[in-house]
Amino acid sequence: MSETDQTQPAAEQTQQEPQDPNQKPRKPKRRRRKPRRSQSKWNLDQFPVAPVAGQWRFHDFDLPLPLMRAIQKAGFEYCTPIQAQTFEKALLGGDVVGRAQTGSGKTAAFLIATLAYFLEEKAPEGQKPGAPRAVIIAPTRELALQIEKDAKAFSEFARISVACVVGGMDYQKQRERLERKVDLLVATPGRLLDFHTKRDVDLSETEVLVVDEADRMLSMGFIPDVKRIIRATPRPEERQTLLFSAELSSDVLGLAEQWTHEATQVAVEHEATAAIAADNDAVQTYTVSDDDKLRLLINLVKQGEMERSVVFGNSRGLVRKINAALKEAGIESAVMSGAETQTERLEAHEAFRNGKLKVLVVSDVAGRGFALEDATHAINFTLPEVPEDYVHRASFSDVALISFVGEEDVFSLPEIEDYLQETLPRQQPPQGLL
């Protein structure tokens, strides 16, 4: 894998020919360079974005008009670093291995690249039902459902069919959906493997493969399933592969070497990491005994400035205990963990977004994939066991991140500080809250 080179816009870069003259050339990507026919009265004049030094606009990447229209509707103007770096390589058909945290814009990066390919390259003749052109694999149903939602939003003005298959939801309904044409399929590993084994999904025609949160796949034990899925797709040199991970560990890089072909490695620092280091006023770390945590949380939440808070716990049992204590104190709250059904989690998330709930108590796995930008505060009732999750939790809130450091949390704190390369100042809780 090579390091990224951002010296030229994507449209000016060209692919290298195979060095071995006997090697079968890889199917060229992005062959379209003919004038596009207008599909509606909408045009780029309706989406003016001024050039800004040091920033890439979506306009700079010659994206199809239906996609640009959806980008405008989403309120996007300038690319995030991971998006710009991904587009430079992926829009030319190259494989990408990206290091990016949740909240960095990586989902839009791989979705826009994939949908641009669909709009530029015609579907193969005789496309079969249940034979997706692109497959996106995500570790959790929440994340998969969020990706599906985003994919449908970006494809609103294009004739692209999107489907999602995940565990914990109606199997037969998902199977019926696969009986129709599917361009882009979002899936969790276990459910996708089930459908593939029963021949309801044909992966042999996959043109684009996306593996999201590869590090999370590893930690959750999904890699054997993912390997079986990938073996059912065309060879790496015959498909485009985009792999993203919060951390590019040696294990993740080893998988990337197996699954990609001459991939470019791109990496960005999560904005939340920089914010944590730069703005200690927005980051508060309270030293408190484990027995006093619930009392401190209730008193904090009852303060007027805490309009909507996301509270993180490390286990199902703990988040349910926290939720019960909040309800007993008269605070409108709900819980999202692996113990709730998918419907219950979706309802809780929607109620929080609509302002019907003051607190949402979540576990890390259940919280991934949900857009919780409406939160005013993020509270670590317990510090995460994995340092990367601290940054993930911080990305949910632009206002304040509060952490409770009890007897058990002191073991996690040094690893988090090493990861941030920053010492988190500890203090006693404000007077009157205990």
pTM, full prediction? 0.69
- Residue 270: the pLDDT is 53
Instruction: Please give the backbone phi and psi of residue 189, each rounded to the nearest 5 degrees, phi first.
Output: -60, -50
- Residue 281: the pLDDT is 57
CB atoms within 10 A of CB 17: 10
Give 162-199 pLDDT, tens digit per residue. 999 998 888 999 999 999 999 999 999 999 999 999 99
Cβ atoms of 210 and 134 closer than 8 Å: yes
- Residue 61: the pLDDT is 95
Exposed, middle or buried by CB within 10 Å (0-12, 13-18, 19+), for 288? buried
SS3 431: coil
CA–CA distance, 72 with 80 (Å, rounded to integer):
15
CA 267 from chain centre, in angstroms, equals 15
For residue 233, which of 261, 211, 204 has the smallest C-alpha distance?
A: 204
SS3 304: coil
- Residue 412: the pLDDT is 87
SS3 287: strand
CA–CA distance, 74 with 11 (Å, rounded to integer):
24
- Residue 278: the pLDDT is 42
Q: Which residue has the tokens 């919780």?
A: 372
**What domains can be seen in the chain, in order of their start residue?**
2-268 (3.40.50.300), 272-427 (3.40.50.300)
Reported as half-sphere exposure (CB side, CA atoms, 13 A), residue 109 has a value of 34
CB atoms within 10 A of CB 135: 25
- For 405, which DSSP code? E
For residue 182, which of 155, 216, 218 has the smallest C-alpha distance?
A: 155
- Residue 114: the pLDDT is 97
CA 133 from chain centre, in angstroms, equals 20
Instruction: Please give the backbone phi and psi of residue 123, each rounded to the nearest 5 degrees, phi first.
Output: -65, 145
For residue 78, which of 57, 92, 108, 52 has the smallest C-alpha distance?
A: 57
Give 326-372 pLDDT, tens digit per residue. 999 999 999 988 777 767 877 888 888 888 899 999 886 655 555 56
One digit per residue, the tens of pLDDT, for the chain of length 434 reads 544 444 344 334 434 444 455 555 455 455 444 444 545 689 999 999 999 998 999 999 999 999 999 999 999 999 999 999 999 999 999 999 999 877 788 999 999 999 999 999 988 888 899 999 999 999 988 889 989 999 999 999 998 999 999 988 889 999 999 999 999 999 999 999 999 999 999 999 999 999 999 998 998 899 999 999 999 999 999 999 999 998 888 999 999 999 999 999 998 865 545 445 444 456 889 999 999 999 999 999 988 678 888 999 988 889 999 999 999 999 999 998 877 776 787 788 888 888 889 999 988 665 555 556 677 888 999 998 877 778 777 765 456 789 999 988 888 888 888 877 778 888 899 888 88
CA–CA distance, 358 with 356 (Å, rounded to integer):
7
CB atoms within 10 A of CB 398: 14
Q: Which amino acid is at 407?
A: E
CB atoms within 10 A of CB 236: 19
Helices (H), 121-239: 141-154, 171-177, 189-197, 214-219, 223-231
For residue 66, which of 110, 120, 12 has the smallest C-alpha distance?
A: 120
The total number of residues shown for the chain amounts to 434
Q: 34: which 2 tokens?
A: 């003919």
Q: Which amino acid is at 157?
A: F
- Residue 28: the pLDDT is 46
- For 57, which DSSP code? B
